[in-house]
Structure 1
Amino acid sequence: MPLSLPPVPEPFQLPFHYGALHQVGIDWLVDPGPARELLAKHHPDLSAAAFEDGRALVSLNYQLYFAQYPFGGGITQEIEFSVIAFPTDEGDRLPRLTYAQYAQGWDQTKLLGIARVHVVCDNPFAIRAGQELYAEPKHPGWFEVGLPSLNGPAGETWTVRCRAATIGPDDTLEKSPDPLLDITAELDGLTAVAANSAPITGYGTDAEGRLLAGPMNVYQPYRWYDLAAPEHSGRTRLAVHAPGDGLGHDIRALLADGTPAVGAWTYQSPPVAAHNRPYYLRTSTGTSVT
């Protein structure tokens, strides 16, 4: 019997269209045991993908995106902590891939997806949308960031600090000064590879235990940076400031201090317009221009 599609509750509409997206992800190969335990707890119908030496893959990815609505615009930031996984019942359909092959988009089944374990977001409406539409484990936080930008100094360094927050009356975000985690990716001077990894499958498990898969199309290639060489071990840094909360506890369970990242990937929407430098005009008053 064909499966029915999950409902789309009001006031949401799908697909959700991004007006602009800026994103950085960092990947780590880890001991598969803790990853399997985490999936069994959060997504029992998923299995951790196995890469080099049978290791599992975990990822942190930060997103800054803009959406245009009938009433105006909205800006959202979020960070996702995920295990790369697949539906257990579909394991016989998967290709055997190295991490580098996966990162460049060689899995055309798109069964290898991100099993979200924690999502921290600064937009209460987006938190509700993620929970109700995609069964995302989404909760509030806020961000202080430094990003590569055409409107700033040249460079390819990303810095993201995530802090705690709560949702107050009238769906307002109430910020806390308490830091949750920091990530840094210094990608300056590295050559990126175009990665055809979209659509990216995001997995969720709803309150009834049903497994959901939601693909996200990105209309241009990602840029993937191979960080496996020892000389790149210091290019990314992760600091967990709240090891006792759910996010910090689960990161610590999977990532030992100092575990080097094996890769990073970025996406930045191209500009759609540019307001150029002005110039002086000669006028009939005879004003001189120097």
Structure 2
Amino acid sequence: MTAPLPLPPVPKPFQLPFHYGALHQIGIDWLVDPDPARRLLAKHHPGLTAATFEDGQALVSLNYQLYFAQYAFGGGITQEIEFSIIAFPTDEGDRLPSLTYAQYAQGWDQTKLLGIARIHVVCDNPFAIRAGHELYAEPKYPGWFEVGLPSLNGPAGETWTVRCKAATIGPNDTLEKASAPLLDVTAELDGLASAAANSAPITGYGTDHEGRLLAGPMNVYQPYRWYDLAAPEHTGRTRLAVHAPDDGLGHDIRTLLGDEAPAVGAWTFQSPPVAAHNRPYYLPTRPHL
């Protein structure tokens, strides 16, 4: 019998679990040729195997997150985008059910072995970048974002637009923005019916500098909304533009997606509001005597 493994360390000043005060997220999925996905996965996560779905295709996911966290000293807002291959630990393959993409996207894998093997993570919060490295072995580096999101405080609609730009980390852990765009993502989900997806906890995989494979589950306490984009009439609802095709992220996206195979699905989560400040009203006034 194999001896139990120790838990990975939690270096100071971090504490786990990390609690999200609010989360707004969109993910877009593509079915792709499995061979390039396997080669790229082997470079980053040799202990993982790329999952396959319809016609033996691999699955690639790009997800954007905007989240708020409350700390003892106040609050912090973070944005990031993850480019991942859906994979499982090679030694656990015999435990996995056989699933279509739609079944996986709606949460039918109750083993939660099918997870996101992160290849690139771009983030606008230097503290979150450090936490990703030290806690979860995430390949995380700086960038910044210009976005348009569905919001109760904005125009009605279900269109998401995300522009990711390059950045560096300057003195005192400050984010120094550059003007160079990395990629643009658009998802026009207006008018589409969604299905409730019981996909959490989502397992995120990382491989540390010593080659050890880590699995970090993320619980989301309400269902995701999943949009089936497989029908030909939905081909134009998502768009991905790579502006830096020669850098790591852009190169790997082009390698796996080519000229962008149409997305097969999108999934979203938006935290419900916890309070509302209502419209004011006038009070009658009486003349002073």
Q: Same fold (TM over 0.5)?
A: yes
Residue among 81, 87, 90 paired with 1:88 = 90
Equivalent residue number for residue 105 of structure 2: 103
Answering whether residue 114 of structure 2 is matched by residue 112 of structure 1, we say yes
Residue among 195, 198, 210 paired with 2:212 = 210
Residue among 135, 160, 167 paired with 1:133 = 135
Residue among 58, 68, 76 paired with 2:70 = 68
Code of the residue aligned with 2:96 in structure 1: it is L
Equivalent residue number for residue 244 of structure 1: 246
Residue among 159, 162, 168 paired with 2:161 = 159
Note the residue ranges of structure 2 that are not aligned, 5 or more in a row: none
- C-alpha distance in 1, partners of 2:89/2:21? 31
Code of the residue aligned with 2:265 in structure 1: it is G
The offset of 1:258, in angstroms, is 3.4
Equivalent residue number for residue 30 of structure 2: 28
- C-alpha distance in 2, partners of 1:28/1:61? 12
Code of the residue aligned with 2:262 in structure 1: it is P
Query: How many residues were matched structurally?
Result: 286
- C-alpha distance in 1, partners of 2:50/2:154? 39
Equivalent residue number for residue 179 of structure 1: 181
Code of the residue aligned with 1:25 in structure 2: it is G
- C-alpha distance in 2, partners of 1:87/1:199? 16
The offset of 1:283, in angstroms, is 2.1
- C-alpha distance in 2, partners of 1:187/1:118? 25
The offset of 1:146, in angstroms, is 0.2
- C-alpha distance in 2, partners of 1:10/1:255? 39
Equivalent residue number for residue 193 of structure 2: 191
Code of the residue aligned with 2:94 in structure 1: it is D
- C-alpha distance in 1, partners of 2:47/2:207? 9
The offset of 1:268, in angstroms, is 0.1
Equivalent residue number for residue 275 of structure 2: 273
Residue among 137, 148, 151 paired with 1:149 = 151
TM-score by length of 1: 0.98
Q: CA RMSD in A?
A: 0.6
Code of the residue aligned with 1:16 in structure 2: it is F
Q: Deviations over 1:58-103 (max 9, x none)?
A: 0000000000000000000000000000000000000000000000
Code of the residue aligned with 2:73 in structure 1: it is F
Note the residue ranges of structure 1 that are not aligned, 5 or more in a row: none
The offset of 1:165, in angstroms, is 0.2
Equivalent residue number for residue 43 of structure 1: 45
Code of the residue aligned with 1:220 in structure 2: it is Q
- C-alpha distance in 2, partners of 1:12/1:285? 60
Identity %: 87
Answering whether residue 81 of structure 2 is matched by residue 79 of structure 1, we say yes
The offset of 1:256, in angstroms, is 1.4
Code of the residue aligned with 2:18 in structure 1: it is F
- C-alpha distance in 2, partners of 1:22/1:57? 22
Equivalent residue number for residue 226 of structure 2: 224
Q: Deviations over 1:150-209 (max 9, x none)?
A: 000000000000000000000000000000000000000000100000000000000000
